[in-house]
Amino acid sequence: MIRPFSLVTAIALACLFAIRPAMAQQNAARPHILYIVADDLGWADVGFHGAEIKTPTLDELAQGGATLDQFYVQPMCTPTRAALMTGRYPMRYGLQSFVILPEQTFGIPLDEKLLPQVLKEAGYDTAIIGKWHLGHADRALWPRQRGFDYQYGALIGEIDYFTHQVHGVTDWYRNDKLLKEPGYVTELLGKDAVRYIEGHDPKRPMFMYLAFTAPHTPLQAPQAYLDRYKTISDPNRRTYAAMVSAMDDQIAAVLDALKRKGMRDDTLVVFHSDNGGVKSAMFAGQIATKGAPPASNGPFRDGKGSLYEGGTRAVALANWPGRIKPRKVAEPIHVVDMLPTLAGRAGASLKGVKPLDGSDVWRTISEGASSPRDEIVYNVEMFRASVRKGDWKLVWRTTLPSKVELFNIAQDPGEAKNLAAEQPAIVADLQKRVNVLAGEMAPSSFFQASFKAYLGRHAPGPVFPNDDAFFSQYD
């Protein structure tokens, strides 16, 4: 005969053993996150998109995971990184235009709650290794003040790969302290990521934001990497290819470190570029590069800085063994979707985050389900905008002479045929949507800073932009 207490104990133990597998499965589904961003990488400049540039590590990640064929970002660096960190369009807080220059003092406003803060509150160890470019003049804007437990790399971004300087000033830090050390930037970032993983407790979830500066200008690479591409005659293209291969090698080293630590199967890897590759000399960088820009965006029009597909459709992939089915995902995804998507996988609360423009697209990435997104906002600025609904994309330049273009992206991904004159009703609907968004837009921090700097050097004058509301604040 079983005593009552023993019977109760037996039932309790049975329940406990029944619950434990479910709890273990839930914990196993909470991944480490390795989020890798390349800088100015062309859509066609990876092996899995047919490039002559050798990227075996990225190719393997793509083959074993999801290639995101319609992954959209902002046309330039700072806006894309801000969109990733906030899950919100940068037009909402003044970072929609250009990038933060070394002499400028603004950054992501401090009342924006960022992705690392969200994940840190959920128990993640958070690290940024690489480029920040979201505020450098005030320490309150630095990564460790915005949710990262650990920081290593550049606060601005366009630095010499060997001296780590921009305009003669060293921009290289570890945990808020200026650091002077030798080494090639791409290799230093990879080695530090490996070191961080080696010291990490696998029982604690990790969020690592690995933000390479490659292959952004200046075009520089170690000789050993240049020697891999002796068959490429154009020197810019040769160096650019070498820079991409150096980055691919460092990603391989980081993945190997995860495997050695027993973390790889529990790690969600996301990779994409911050914008399209450079096609215009205007965006070749503050450190001048002679010759033609070397990037290729494949079938897409234009490149970095442009609202066309070449500037905003980024090479991208996601990989998580056993969790993401290998496939090409043709559904539209925007970088603002990544904060809610990652928060969902992490079991993180979105309390305190401002109203998101992004949606959780996990089923789209992992299973190939339809995207919840029916609109792509490429950007809205004082002088131009681009919005897509379904397959119809409007590109609207409002400065004189103004220009309105309409493309059917499904039929014409290269944006060769302007259908605006043939589809006036669609143009009118999309222009109406742009004006609604423009009404929600914060003033551009870049233009505010530039205008104030101009007034500091010159007498007031008719300086761009020609917006009465913008000028009235200086009356």
343 lies in the same domain as 387 = no
190 lies in the same domain as 52 = yes
- Asked, for residue 278, whether it belongs to a domain, the answer is yes
**From CA 407, how far away is CA 423, in angstroms rounded?**
10
352 lies in the same domain as 418 = no
339 lies in the same domain as 367 = yes
277 lies in the same domain as 387 = no
CA 141 to chain centre: 18
* H and E: helices and strands count for the chain: 13, 19
65 lies in the same domain as 121 = yes
CA angle 184, 188, 190 (to 5 degrees): 125
206 lies in the same domain as 347 = yes
Amino acid at 367: E
Tens place of pLDDT for every residue, the chain, 475 residues? Answer: 334 444 444 444 444 444 433 333 334 478 999 999 999 999 999 999 999 999 999 999 999 999 999 999 999 999 999 999 999 999 999 999 999 999 999 999 999 999 999 999 999 999 999 999 999 999 999 999 999 999 999 999 789 999 999 999 999 999 999 999 999 999 999 999 999 999 999 999 999 999 999 999 999 999 999 999 999 999 999 999 999 999 999 999 999 999 999 999 999 999 999 999 999 877 665 444 578 899 999 999 999 999 999 999 999 999 999 999 999 999 999 999 999 999 999 999 999 999 999 999 999 999 999 999 999 999 999 999 999 999 999 999 999 999 999 999 999 999 999 999 999 999 999 999 999 999 999 999 999 888 777 666 644 444 444 444 444 444 3
**From CA 101, how far away is CA 96, in angstroms rounded?**
14
347, 373, 399 - which closes a domain: 373
Residues paired with residue 319 on neighbouring β-strands, in sequence order: 269
Could you tell me the CATH number of the domain that includes residue 363? Answer: 3.40.720.10
302 lies in the same domain as 218 = yes
Catalytic residue among 133, 200, 272, 334: 133
Catalytic site includes residue 77: yes
Q: How buried is 201 (Cβ within 10 angstroms: 0-12 exposed, 13-18 middle, 19+ buried)?
A: exposed
Could you tell me the CATH number of the domain that includes residue 410? Answer: 3.30.1120.10
- Asked, for residue 11, whether it belongs to a domain, the answer is no
- Asked, for residue 467, whether it belongs to a domain, the answer is no
- Asked, for residue 290, whether it belongs to a domain, the answer is yes
Is the pTM here over 0.85, yes or no? yes
85 lies in the same domain as 198 = yes
Residue 111 near residue 104, CB atoms below 8 Å: no
**From CA 465, how far away is CA 200, in angstroms rounded?**
49
258 lies in the same domain as 219 = yes
365 lies in the same domain as 394 = no
Catalytic site includes residue 15: no
Domain that holds residue 97: 30-373
- Asked, for residue 39, whether it belongs to a domain, the answer is yes
- Asked, for residue 456, whether it belongs to a domain, the answer is no
First to last CA, the chain: 93
Residue 307 near residue 315, CB atoms below 8 Å: no
What ranges in 309-353 are assigned the alpha helix state H?
309-312, 338-346
Half-sphere CA count of 352, side-chain side, radius 13 A: 13
Overall number of domains in the chain? 2
Nearest to 440 by CA among 354, 368, 324, 365: 354
pLDDT in tens, 287-304: 445 788 999 999 999 999
- Asked, for residue 206, whether it belongs to a domain, the answer is yes
**From CA 151, how far away is CA 209, in angstroms rounded?**
10
What are the structure tokens assigned to 230, written together? Answer: 């002796």
280 lies in the same domain as 135 = yes
Catalytic residue among 15, 32, 49, 77: 77
- Asked, for residue 24, whether it belongs to a domain, the answer is no
